[in-house]
Amino acid sequence: MKPAKERIMRIIKILRKAYPKSKTVLRNGSPFELLISTILSAQCTDKRVNKITPGLFKKYKSPRDFAHVRQAVLEKKIRSTGFYKNKAKNIIAASKKIVGEFGGKVPDRMDKLTSLPGVARKTANIVLSSSFHKAEGIAVDTHVRRLSGRIGLSKERDPNKIEKDLIEIVPRKDWLDFNYLLVDHGRKICMARKPLCPKCVIKRLCPSAGT
């Protein structure tokens, strides 16, 4: 197997060719909408989130609107995403902080984003990369966690430790969309239960291919 940095550069090149339009599939029209959508996507499919957010954002158009909504009302609207009580609580609290401390605008710094209730590094990285085009890290979701282990990029299980391993070998210029490349590949080929190894474009660079 080739050295990690040389191998990852080949993997990225191949995946870019396979998924030239790789980006977040969460529908959003602003950094705030992406923030809310990403919070809702925890333990939920992006497809499900995209079904409820158009109506949600039509009724509540700004952080101020979300800051003043009753939690019970918001819970009903996001119930289908799962963990709706905690999500509603965090969305309202984060909206209040955005209004009260950040002038009604989503901050574009990692430390300020992660200070918001319900926002960990994964969510912050997605907002920073997709809305602000800032590379401060690599979002580690279930797909990235799974593929990082299979491809041999990290032996860790903790998302923060996986991210640390990835940023050491992935060129910084690729941090912005590395998550989306692995997500696309994870959804199409490298699924959790039945990966389609024979159809995999990076099987020659993957230590788990065929196993």
Residues marked as catalytic: 122, 141
Question: Which residues does 24 contact at the CB level (< 8 Å), separation at least 6?
Answer: 34, 126, 130, 180
Residue 129 and residue 138: Cα distance in Å, rounded? 9
Alpha helices in 41-174 (DSSP H): 46-59, 63-68, 71-78, 84-101, 110-113, 121-131, 142-151, 159-169
User: Please, what's the largest Cα pairwise distance for the chain?
Assistant: 55
Amino acid identity, residue 160? Answer: N
Residue 167 and residue 180: Cα distance in Å, rounded? 15
Residue 140 and residue 160: Cα distance in Å, rounded? 8
Amino acid identity, residue 208? Answer: S
Paired tokens of 171: 């060129």
Residue 33 and residue 135: Cα distance in Å, rounded? 20
